Structure 1
Amino acid sequence: MTTKIAFLGLGAMGAPMAARPVDAGYDVTVWNRTAARTEPLVAQGATAAATPAEAVAQAEFVVTMLSDPAAVTAVVGELAAALRPDAVLVEMSTVGPDATARIRELVPESVGMVDAPVMGSVDRAASGELAVLAGGSAADLARVADLLRTFGTVTECGDLGSGSARKLVLINGIVAGVAVVGETLALAERLGLADPRAVLEASPLAALTARAFATTTDFSVEMAAKDLRLAGEVLDLPIMAAARRVLESAADQDADLGVAVLDLSKKH
């Protein structure tokens, strides 16, 4: 019998991710607060649900891919009572390990849980080439292994919360690094370097420079600032706090991170 899954959250990353198990032959029910976003997936073969509880009622695996801890907590709170006793909740949003632990407390003890945030851009989500950072018990990870592989390459990080912890470390390093590239470019221009971008691309900053100039990742300033905020709740990080304040000053919070950082650097 075809495995039933529910996928909740069809934002910039969630929509292409939800298409992966549909294409892989899973019986997928999707939900999004803005119902119109379910229509392309229904056209691909998914079923749309009107509420989170309806989406998960028959699902063996329940995937959440939402914007922040508050959104995940609210949605899981809505659906918890409707979960199958043998279901596994797969939390793929970037929420941090503390929120992961709080979300675990919302669902029945019989329900398994894996945290599996991802690294990668929208195009990699569409092609199933994300890096999936998974945490949970060996039994729960084994049950959802095939599903997680539809999204990309899976790294098992340890117990529940370890995937979220690793994601927070990696994404904050990248975000702060892109912010540094923006200021480095501003310095290079002020010093009169003929081609500042070429200088950075020929240096150890090449990868971060490429990320700063990327314009199609759909990783917004608002989301980047949120991730820096989550890290700041764990530890006082002055450099990342400064980067967050810079990002929060950007006029367009929906702009791609790299575009916004480069724009801000021109204001020096």
Structure 2
Amino acid sequence: MAGPNGADYPDRFWEETRMKIGFVGLGNMGLPMAANLLAAGHTLTVWNRTEAKAAPLKAKGAKVAATPAEAARGAEAVFSMLADDAAVGSAVFGKEGIQAGMSPGALHVSSSTISVALSEKLAEAHASAGQRYVAAPVFGRPAAAESKQLWVVAAGPKQDVERCRPLLEALGRGLTVLGENAPAANVVKLSGNFLIASMMEALAESFALTRKSGIEPKAFLDVFQSVFARSPIFETYAQLIAEEKYSPAGFKLKLGLKDMELVLGAARGAEVPMPLASLVKDQFLGGVAQGHGDLDWSALGALVAERAGLKRGT
């Protein structure tokens, strides 16, 4: 395997060395992910639109860059963890973007939930500049990021995935490699988010029905946890809906809308009808239209309860 200067290194090299990393985007997910890379002993330069969010990392030895290009300059690998396609495009392209700062042979690891089309564009743009690209979105909420319990799905050229494997493994409890076509990781991430959104819709409807039938949410939650819960994700969202804890948001409802639109875009491109995805997208759209876009996306529970004539806390 080729090392940072083109020399051949054994596979164990990337597990034993410490890398110079750039990290762009320090939101609810990016900040703990960057902190875990720093804790693993890597040298870190970070950028965030709101510089104050970098303070905890700066206190632990990270450098703070003025632009995404500066964060990428001289780095062997640059992570991006941003909210949507527009934020990623703004941070990657242009004279102050990640691509402008990356050296030939350097690696961009995109962990953002983005469209398949943008992932394809990133792969092509980096390849044309002699740079490397791996798509590596993650499953998990901020608490999972903090406790290194994320699940990472990665795709890209085999050598590049192996090159950043120690970094990806430092972020979570597991890694699934999905082949050499980078956008495949984005398809899997979007499909997974669709499953979560569909699950929340079913939970929301079940809790609304039982509540309106006079059954305490805690009682139905107990049944759910005893009979149905086998996944921390499923159980977490059931508890949020049962207890109506939609703030602070681990993942905002308006971002759920964005993800469902991306799912449907991918489905159109693959000519796959997804009527349930359309339904869930409209649910999120209704929530945003009612001013609930900054609540957690599990606030589907509140939207369904409201249509059922139920009031919060009853």
- Could you state the TM-score of these two structures normalised by the residue count of structure 1? 0.93
- Among 17, 24, 27, the alignment partner of 1:8 is 24
Q: Secondary structure at the match of 1:62?
A: strand
Q: Secondary structure at the match of 2:144?
A: helix
* Equivalent residue, structure 2, for 1:129: 149
Alpha-carbon distance in 2 for matches of 1:163, 1:79: 21
Alpha-carbon distance in 1 for matches of 2:113, 2:165: 19
Is residue 2:98 matched to residue 1:79?
A: yes
Q: Secondary structure at the match of 2:23?
A: strand
- Bigger drift between 175-184 and 196-205 goes to 196-205
- Could you state the TM-score of these two structures normalised by the residue count of structure 2? 0.80
* Equivalent residue, structure 1, for 2:166: 146
Equivalent pairs: percent with the same residue?
32
- Bigger drift between 152-161 and 12-21 goes to 152-161
Q: Secondary structure at the match of 1:50?
A: coil
Alpha-carbon distance in 2 for matches of 1:178, 1:204: 14
Q: Secondary structure at the match of 1:44?
A: coil
Contact 1:247 1:261 in 2 (8 A): yes
Contact 2:122 2:133 in 1 (8 A): no
Contact 1:212 1:257 in 2 (8 A): no
Alpha-carbon distance in 1 for matches of 2:202, 2:57: 38
* Equivalent residue, structure 1, for 2:113: 94
Alpha-carbon distance in 2 for matches of 1:27, 1:199: 48
Kindly state the Cα deviation for residue 238 of structure 1 after the two structures are TM-superposed. 2.2
Alpha-carbon distance in 2 for matches of 1:244, 1:212: 20
The one-letter code matched in structure 1 to 2:179 is G
Is residue 2:67 matched to residue 1:46?
A: no
Contact 1:200 1:206 in 2 (8 A): no
Is residue 2:74 matched to residue 1:58?
A: yes
Q: What is the correspondence of 1:1-268 to structure 2 with a 5 Å cutoff? A: 2-77=18-93, 78-109=97-128, 110-152=130-172, 153-159=174-180, 160-193=182-215, 195-204=219-228, 207=231, 208-214=234-240, 215=245, 218-235=250-267, 236-250=273-287, 251-258=291-298, 260-267=299-306, 268=308
Cα shift readout 1:21-43 (whole Å, capped 9, x = no counterpart): 11111110000011111111101
Q: Secondary structure at the match of 2:133?
A: strand
Alpha-carbon distance in 2 for matches of 1:213, 1:28: 36
The structure having more radius of gyration, on CA atoms, is: 2
Q: Where does the alignment leave 5 or more consecutive residues of structure 1 unmatched?
A: none
Q: Where does the alignment leave 5 or more consecutive residues of structure 2 unmatched?
A: 1-16, 268-272, 309-314
Alpha-carbon distance in 2 for matches of 1:206, 1:104: 37
Kindly state the Cα deviation for residue 206 of structure 1 after the two structures are TM-superposed. 6.6
Alpha-carbon distance in 1 for matches of 2:70, 2:38: 18
Cα shift readout 1:222-261 (whole Å, capped 9, x = no counterpart): 1211111100112242222221222222232111122x12
Alpha-carbon distance in 2 for matches of 1:116, 1:205: 27
Are the structure 2 counterparts of residues 242 and 264 from structure 1 closer, same or farther at C-alpha, using a change threshold of 3 Å? same
Alpha-carbon distance in 2 for matches of 1:99, 1:108: 14
Are the structure 2 counterparts of residues 147 and 209 from structure 1 closer, same or farther at C-alpha, using a change threshold of 3 Å? closer
- Bigger drift between 77-86 and 196-205 goes to 196-205
The one-letter code matched in structure 1 to 2:281 is R
Kindly state the Cα deviation for residue 94 of structure 1 after the two structures are TM-superposed. 0.6
Alpha-carbon distance in 2 for matches of 1:125, 1:95: 19
Alpha-carbon distance in 1 for matches of 2:88, 2:138: 16
Q: Secondary structure at the match of 1:249?
A: helix
Alpha-carbon distance in 2 for matches of 1:205, 1:19: 31
Contact 1:64 1:72 in 2 (8 A): yes
The one-letter code matched in structure 2 to 1:240 is A
- Bigger drift between 171-180 and 107-116 goes to 107-116
